[in-house]
Structure 1
Amino acid sequence: MVKNALAAQLLKAGLVDNKKAKKLSKQAQHEHRTGQNDDAQIKAKIEQDKQEKIAKDQALNQEKQRILDEKALVAAIIQMIAQHKIKDTDGDMTYQFIDESKIKKVYINQQIYNALVAGSLVIAKENTSYAFLPKVLAERINDKMTGFILVNNAENHEQTTDEEDPYAAYVIPDDLMW
């Protein structure tokens, strides 16, 4: 009994014998099996593509989440600055500092000026203006994200002088008016 219809027709016509018909049958089965192997390879390729797409999507989602977390942190820092800034700072004294390679000048009162020079207050950037904050809060902000604190004179007081500096004996006062 021949399973292949073509082989049965060839046998009936007398063009092939039983041996040749079995060989054709086996070839057909082999082609059928290899076709299934091709299907398995195709399925494996599809599965691999799915895994790559999932990994790519996860990476994109992590990047989006990181950006959202950074925006939330910036918003939280801006809110902290707005809540804790010192309000009454207007005065006759001028204090100059550097913001993005430009010299900026603010008018403040003597008490704020003394606190800035001593390092107990710092200047922070608040959107387009400047805010005066306590040093403790500035340290917390700097721990979370840098770039908001523009002037922190407490760091200048903590630095040690170089032993080889020939001008180490000459102290320049911080409150020197130009």
Structure 2
Amino acid sequence: MVKNALQAQLLKAGLVDNKKAKKLSKQAVHEKRTGDSNDTEIKAKIEQDKQAKLAKDQAIELEKKAILQEKELNAAIVQMISQHKIHDTDGDVSYQFIDETKIKKVYINQQIYNALVAGSLVIAKDGESYAFLPKALADRINSKLEGFIIVNNSEKNEATTDEEDPYAAYVIPDDLMW
């Protein structure tokens, strides 16, 4: 009457009586036929866990791709700065500007100084030093990623041409030396 060895052992030990063993075996057969077992619940839980893990993995992968693209963009901008910077800038004219919260001073020649004041050249961060770049390149760099261009006087020159300014007729030159 007993269908498996475990039930036979439980009967011999006296832990289960004959009626209870029959009832358990009938219940197991019924679950096999109808599929009412909790296997479907377990399978659904496993599938749900798989979907959650897949979504988490995709989110991590997207984050990694975004970080990689940002690193590639930074490397491309650094390469553009190093390729297009003006090299012969040493001179005896000092130019001061603000980098983050510190005032920096560089010595440049008069031609570079005039171009910086006019706005045709900009100062960009080149690692730990500074590079002098043409304004068109600086605009391209700023459109891709901001934070590399430190000094752009062309924006200041455009902002000061206010028509309602009472002192508009009294222009003070930017290259005034004290």
Which is worse superposed, 32-41 or 119-128? 32-41
1:42 equivalent to 2:54? Answer no
1:75 alignment counterpart: 75
2:111 alignment counterpart: 111
2:143 alignment counterpart: 143
1:121 alignment counterpart: 121
Which is worse superposed, 50-59 or 124-133? 50-59
Compute the TM-score of the two structures, normalised by the length of structure 2. Answer: 0.79
Q: Deviations over 1:44-74 (max 9, x none)?
A: 1111111111111111111111111111111
Conserved in 1, the CA contact under 8 Å of 2:31 and 2:37?
Answer: no
Structure 2 unaligned runs (5+)? Answer: 4-17
Structure 1 residue 171, shift from structure 2 partner = 2.8
**Distance in 1 of aligned mates of 2:46 and 2:74:** 42
1:174 alignment counterpart: 174
1:94 alignment counterpart: 94
**Distance in 2 of aligned mates of 1:48 and 1:67:** 29
For residue 128 of structure 1, what is the amino acid of its counterpart?
Answer: E
1:64 alignment counterpart: 64
**Distance in 1 of aligned mates of 2:172 and 2:33:** 90
**Distance in 2 of aligned mates of 1:172 and 1:160:** 11
For residue 125 of structure 1, what is the amino acid of its counterpart?
Answer: K
Flag the 1:95–1:33 CA change in 2: closer, same or farther, 3 A: farther
Identity over aligned residues, as a percent? Answer: 74
Q: Which runs of 4+ in 1 moved over 6 A?
A: none
1:154 equivalent to 2:154? Answer yes
Which is worse superposed, 23-32 or 115-124? 23-32
For residue 60 of structure 1, what is the amino acid of its counterpart?
Answer: I
1:12 alignment counterpart: none
Flag the 1:27–1:177 CA change in 2: closer, same or farther, 3 A: same
Structure 1 residue 157, shift from structure 2 partner = 1.5
Q: What is the number of equivalent residue pairs in this alignment?
A: 162
1:54 alignment counterpart: 54
Structure 1 unaligned runs (5+)? Answer: 7-14
Flag the 1:5–1:115 CA change in 2: closer, same or farther, 3 A: same
**Distance in 2 of aligned mates of 1:89 and 1:132:** 8
Specify the SS of the correspondent of 2:79: helix
Flag the 1:5–1:95 CA change in 2: closer, same or farther, 3 A: same
